[in-house]
Amino acid sequence: AAGVIQSPRHLIKEKRETATLKCYPIPRHDTVYWYQQGPGQDPQFLISFYEKMQSDKGSIPDRFSAQQFSDYHSELNMSSLELGDSALYFCASSLGGGDVHGYTFGSGTRLTVV
């Protein structure tokens, strides 16, 4: 079965650079969520989109922005990168917002800021 696809798998950037992470949800899923997981930490919710509109916002820094496109894929844009942005970034998708059956997570993008 198709899963949530994230790209790239690994990304190394220097401080103050920008990065773009991409997420392709499971086919027919209309809701996308972004989470950030620092080393040894639990995943922290950043932002979600339902039907291409922002549906909820968590602890996403102002330096980050995201959007969901007409094909339901989503991109997380990160600017002025800081060392503390080094983390695993997970995208998840579901059919409908707040899907009681839970999200399906992608394999994640490991961002390292040097």
Partner 1 sequence: QKEVEQNSGPLSVPEGAIASLNCTYSDRGSQSFFWYRQYSGKSPELIMFIYSNGDKEDGRFTAQLNKASQYVSLLIRDSQPSDSATYLCAGLGAGSYQLTFGKGTKLSVIP
**Footprint (CB under 8 A) of partner 1, residues 36-95:** 41-45, 48, 50, 55-56, 58, 88, 90
Nearest to 50 by CA among 95, 91, 89, 5: 95
Q: Does 102 bind partner 1 (CB under 8 A)?
A: yes
CB contact at 8 A, 35 and 90: yes
Residue 23 three-state SS: strand
Q: Does 31 bind partner 1 (CB under 8 A)?
A: yes
Task: Kindly list the residues in this chain that would bind partner 1 in the complex (CB under 8 A).
Answer: 31, 33, 35, 41-45, 48, 50, 55-56, 58, 88, 90, 97-98, 100-108, 110
